Amino acid sequence: MSTTTATPEKPVTVQALPRMGQLDFLRLMAQGFRGNFAPLHEAVKKYPQGIETRIVRQRCILMNEPAGIEELLVRNQRCYHRRTRSTPLKVFTGESVLTLSGEPHLRQRKLIQPAFHKSRIDAYADTMATLGEQCAARWRDGDTFDMHEQLTALTARIITKTMFSSDIEDDVRIVGEAIDTCLSRSGRYVVPAVGKMLDLLPLRSTRLIKHSLGELDAVIYRFIRDHRRAGGDLDDLLSMLIAARYDDGSALTDRQLRDESMTLFLAGHETTASALSWTLYLLTQHADVAERLRAEVDHVLQGGRSPKLDDMQALDYTRRVFTESMRMFPPVCGVDREAVTPNTVLGMDIRVGDLLIVTPLVTHYDPRWYPEPERFDPDRWLPERAESVPKHAYIPFGGGARRCIGERFAWMEGILLLAIFARDWTFELAPDARIQARLNITLRPSNGVRVIARRRPMKAT
């Protein structure tokens, strides 16, 4: 491999990346899927810019150089399609902004983007805070529970309310459980032929997936019908989607509304729940960080009031904690693209059909940008330290035209909920907690995060 270092005048280029054998590469990935990330973190030290391999006959590049990630996701994004052939989510979401590629994706994204305009998302802050308060008010001092389960239910409630204006517990439960069933069994669709075959067999898992999809469809189509009947804007995401028009004046069909709603549910609920679960887990392991977080929250929320949109800026340490947690446990661990037009990345020729993969599980542990990458250190996001991190070396939300559409929603939800929990509670890991990361579309704690909740003493105001 020959490389040159970047300077403002001289971009990073490589003639070729180091090659790894197919079996070694698949082993590395399989270890990652099982939650053993140490080999991936070692690989980034050995091959900081990336690796080239072949999967069967396809050339495959694991890209880790931020300049290369930027070319792939931003500058040359038109040369790539999402690898829908093997996107397991497509089975559940159908044709939506998440699974479309090329012009159809850009058209869909343009249509949906206004629903995620800052002013629309900001209006959900009170809903997030209210539902967060209700969740935290149900805990009792000394309770032991699975925090991940609590957060999954809470984020399901938040997305159901903001998406459909519904807080009917039955709807929330059905949707939450059905999504969990689908996501936890999505691995079978990674190789589409295997998924299709299993779908034809009379297996329990097949029955469960079909049943869950049927339930989800019934609830979502009912919401669509009710919204159409009510007419007007209910200030929720579905109303925005119903009102949206393509350039030719046409609107989304019921099937498209169902696909987009399902997508927002899948993409927007489990991700934030996982991000928050990992954050609270890390806080149980770092008493000093938890203490500083509580001090900030006490200062900002004087008198123990509920956090509001306007507090977001002052909750600066809270944001750094959430940022650092998503560095260490990125909820979405991989973004892949297939080249549909020849182009170059870091000066390397990319041919049609090449597969390029970016994974924050590798990039976020690059010691070039993150000294002591295994260390949970929210202060690495202080402005003076963070400025040395290249833009595309922190990619929990991806980048370019496909950057997460719900990013603002996720930051707001994460910061407000963390502030509410830290204001009233401290958590310690329960003795029977078994923390295990597993990749299942999102990086989730597969055995949950069992904690003991301790109520903080009331503050004199």
The residues of the shown chain that bind ligand HEM, judged by CB under 6 A, are 82, 97-98, 109, 263-264, 267-268, 271-272, 275, 331-332, 335, 396-398, 402, 404-406, 409-410
List 326's β-bridge partners, or say none: none
Nearer to ligand HEM, 252 or 267 (CB): 267
Residue whose CB is less far from ligand HEM, 264 or 430 = 264
Cα–Cα distance for residue pair 434/438, rounded to 1 Å: 12
Closest to 86 measured CA to CA, from 224, 226, 187, 231: 187
Q: In the complex with ligand HEM, which residue's Cβ is closer, 413 or 424?
A: 413
CB-wise, 13 or 76, nearer to ligand HEM? 76
Rounded to the nearest whole angstrom, what is the least distance from the CB of residue 334 to ligand HEM in the complex?
A: 8
Closer Cβ to ligand HEM, 243 or 401, answer by number: 401
**Token representation of residue 214:** 């049927």
317: left (phi over 0), alpha (psi -120 to 50) or beta: alpha
Is 224 or 275 the residue whose CB approaches ligand HEM more closely? Answer: 275
Q: How many whole angstroms from its chain centre is CA 106?
A: 21
Least distance from C-beta 435 to ligand HEM, angstroms? 19
DSSP 164-208: HS---HHHHHHHHHHHHHHHHTGGGGSSHHHHHHHHHS--HHHHH
CB of 410 to ligand HEM, least distance (A): 4
Q: What share of the chain is helix, strand, coil (3-state, %, to 5)?
A: 55, 15, 30
Task: State in angstroms the smallest separation of the CB of 328 from ligand HEM.
Answer: 13
Which residue lies nearer to ligand HEM by CB, 13 or 409?
409
For the CB of residue 73, give the shortest distance to ligand HEM in the complex, in Å. Answer: 7
CB 224 within 8 A of CB 257: yes
Q: How far is CA 140 from CA 57, 135, 350, 358, 431, in A?
A: 57, 11, 57, 42, 18
CA distances from 68 to 49, 104, 185 (A): 8, 25, 33
Q: Where are the beta strands (DSSP E) in 17-102?
A: 50-55, 58-63, 80-82
Residue with Cβ nearer ligand HEM (67 or 441): 441
- Dihedral of alpha carbons 287, 289, 292, 297, sign: negative
Q: Which residue is nearest to ligand HEM (CB)?
A: 406
Tokens of 207: 């029955």
13 versus 127: smaller Cβ distance to ligand HEM: 127
CA angle 37, 43, 48 (to 5 degrees): 125
Length of the chain: 461
Q: Least CB distance from residue 258 to ligand HEM, whole Å?
A: 14
The count of other CB atoms within 10 Å of the CB of residue 208 is 15
